[in-house]
Structure 1
């Protein structure tokens, strides 16, 4: 298939902010250019290139090679990514509200785009990346990264707030209603909507759709042998037409076509199971 991805859980103290770490190799044989569709996973990806060859992404209606240290903001529709050569990366997948806690950067500022993270965070971040690339194995990379993230978290002294709790409740509850969410958090629905959008860039309802479809994708990827109707119901859909519409909006394809052509998609919902 031309790609290899391995995922690793963060230590317990980082789990409220970081979904996982991952290392990936793309276009491994590099005999011809490779193009894939990157499926929205409801997270923010910080990708550190470990070799000098990078992928190509479209940004603001033009194609360009991605920077050494790239932050991909929350995306809500599939994006094409092209690999002209062999590309190897190490990455941190942040929960969309978590990157604000660690770096003070609202996901809303990164929505639907990628950016050069060294331009966003400056010389201290570049020094961290240079040190990281000196490590020869992923375990030591993760240890170095966790120490860096925890130091940033400690320096910022930001506590979890109701936006963190709202996002976590959405991830944990398949059929949550937004009005019930605000009642559980003891804040008004309007305030929740405003603050959630200010930090994540999308509404709680839109984020819920991303989370639901990613649980669908997780079940498909894990080869659960239940039909799509059962999967949709398990993930909080009680209307098949609504499920198919959401699925196509987020993946670009109907479920049956997606499953048939799954090798053309980068679909990595993560390690944290919906409802855990």
Structure 2
């Protein structure tokens, strides 16, 4: 399995977190994989075989060839159907808004085909990316496409942007009231701005960012026991920790910690 990360150009760095590619032969990618919410929307291009995506009811659908995946509020379970070849654009939490032709909240937990968002331009960039022969060529194509669409960066609300930065620097450990006080904007107004720009409430994004930090500490074994891990990440108590953990990963902390295979699958696609 070959996973590579690439930096965006300077003009897109405030919008795009990174690009990544994943390539793997069929025999190495037959397991189900669980993707944990990380607060970032992604634009995915399958230049390899397609993936199955499992619904909450346990049924499966075939993902589109190219799509934008909305904000995840629960774990996403997928399974490759053959050889993997993926090129992805990972946006910052508030980064997709300048390109959204439909309300971001409506894209939640959903793979939305590029044509539905961008029309004929979506079909054209889809074909160009799929026909490209290298990651660098794909990056050049997608950056040209996005820069042409990026006519007004001011659409990204400065209050949302600064609040996202605060959430990230605090590892999601501030309450919504604390965030509201720091930005000098009332809670309801802040929540409305977040839902419009990100598709998540400040509380949801904070919960996601805090769990991501906790998962990375687990992965790097930077803790003495699960109780200390919960308190270091400022969960109220063990029950609060377990509830948030299972909501976003599908596992309890003990299940996650006790199975290295699940750990590796959960971290597929993260940086």
Q: Which deviates more, 131-140 or 117-126?
A: 131-140
- Following TM superposition, by how much is the alpha carbon of 1:269 offset from its aligned partner in structure 2, in angstroms? 7.5
CA-atom RMSD in angstroms:
2.5
Q: Which deviates more, 5-14 or 225-234?
A: 225-234
TM-score, length basis structure 1: 0.84
Contact 1:19 / 1:270 at 8 angstroms: preserved in 2? no
Alignment-derived partner of residue 274 in structure 1: none
Alignment-derived partner of residue 79 in structure 1: 76
Contact 1:41 / 1:267 at 8 angstroms: preserved in 2? no
Residue from 242, 259, 267 that aligns with 1:244: 242
Alignment-derived partner of residue 58 in structure 1: 54
Change (3 A) 1:104 1:234: farther
TM-score, length basis structure 2: 0.86
Change (3 A) 1:231 1:16: farther
Structure 1: runs of 5+ lacking an equivalent: 272-276
Residue from 104, 107, 110 that aligns with 2:104: 107
Residues in 2 aligned to 1:185 and 1:232: alpha-carbon distance in whole angstroms? 27
Aligned length: 265
Change (3 A) 1:83 1:229: same
Residues in 1 aligned to 2:229 and 2:140: alpha-carbon distance in whole angstroms? 36
Matches within 5 A, 1:1-276: 3-26=1-24, 28-30=25-27, 33-51=30-48, 53-58=49-54, 62-153=59-150, 155-161=151-157, 162-174=159-171, 175-221=173-219, 223-227=220-224, 228-237=226-235, 239-264=237-262, 265-268=265-268, 270-271=270-271
What SS does the corresponding residue of 2:64 show, helix, strand or coil?
A: coil
Deviations 1:160-183 (A, max 9, x none): 311222222211213222122122
Residues in 2 aligned to 1:54 and 1:126: alpha-carbon distance in whole angstroms? 17
Residues in 1 aligned to 2:7 and 2:229: alpha-carbon distance in whole angstroms? 25
Deviations 1:178-199 (A, max 9, x none): 1221222222111111221233
